[in-house]
Amino acid sequence: MNHRHRILLIFSIILLFFVIWLFEITDIDRHINDNFFDNTKKIWLIPNNDTIYGKIFYKGIKGLLILVAVGILTTIILSYRSDRYKKYRYRAIFLFLCMAIIPSFISFLKHTTNVYPPWDLKIYNGTAPYVKLIEKYPKDFLQKDKPQGYPAGHASGGFSLLCFYFVLKKRWKKNLSLIIWMLAGWSMGIYQMLRGAHFLSHTIVTNILSIIITLIIYNFFSKKIKGELYEISN
């Protein structure tokens, strides 16, 4: 891992802890999500996935990500069967691992953190108390099912696209990949906030974790990827 990436990794880890701390001691999450919930009608700004927004920002983007992953997996297979695709092997493996590991790790956290999504909370016409990540549930509250609200799982697919930045050579392509990464991740994250599936902090944490995980995975493939990029340019 080069010095620049090491600094970015350290900064991202520090930022992750700062974000968790900030949202634990403040009510920023609640103040923001209050704007998306109609207390009179008891519904969220986007009531369900059957709207046009759901078709675009949930099913649509998710479908595109699956197609991208399938294309990358196909490239990996072809790289072992054809010399034509061999030069893409390690970049494709790196991309596939990032797109698989990041959502999988976020899913693991969702099953571990025991935090309810906004739509399940009493403050938004649900049944669960508003308890943050480090807080404990009231003793008189009985959990029927373990919640899976933290961090943001849907947005993790979009944020996993950060990996494309590391496999592109031209600066404008790398910059474009960063724009696509942020647009994909945050459009998916904001959509989930508007329907009560997540708070802002959930998406920010997923965003930061995507950077940390991508940098760690890239560290194992950097020499191979640089070798493939050098081969293309010569």
Residue 43 host element (H or E): strand 43-44
Mean pLDDT, residues 183-212 taken together: 97
Whether the predicted pLDDT of 2 surpasses 90: no
pLDDT score of 167 more than 60: yes
Does the pTM of the predicted model rise above 0.85? yes
Annotate 125-141 with DSSP letters as a single string. Answer: TSSB----SSS---TTP
At 106-164, the pLDDT tens digits run 999 999 999 999 999 999 999 999 999 999 999 989 888 889 999 999 999 999 999 99
Model confidence band, residue 48 (pLDDT cutoffs 50, 70, 90) = confident
pLDDT computed for residue 228 by the predictor: 84
25 pLDDT above the threshold of 80: yes
Q: Which residues pair with 44 in a beta bridge?
A: 37
Model confidence at 234: pLDDT above 60: no
Confidence band of 176 (pLDDT split at 50, 70, 90): very high
Q: Which CATH number does the domain 3-8+51-133+147-233 belong to among 1.20.144, 1.10.1760, 3.40.50, 3.30.310?
A: 1.20.144
- Counting residues of the chain whose pLDDT is more than 90, the rounded percentage is 88
Q: Does position 233 have pLDDT exceeding 60, yes or no? A: no
| DSSP 8-state secondary structure symbol assigned to residue 143 | P
36 versus 231: the higher-pLDDT residue is: 36
Q: What is the pLDDT of residue 59?
A: 92
pLDDT at 50: 87
CA distance 169 to 223: 14
Instruction: Please determine, for residue 230, whether its predicted confidence score (pLDDT) is greater than 90.
Output: no
206 pLDDT band, cuts 50/70/90, is: very high
Range from 44-58, 149-163, 194-208 carrying the lowest mean pLDDT: 44-58
Domain map of the chain by residue range?
Answer: 3-8+51-133+147-233
- CA separation for the pair 222, 228 (Å, rounded): 10
pLDDT value at 20 more than 70 = yes
Whether residue 37 contacts residue 124, with contact meaning beta carbons closer than 8 Å, is answered with yes
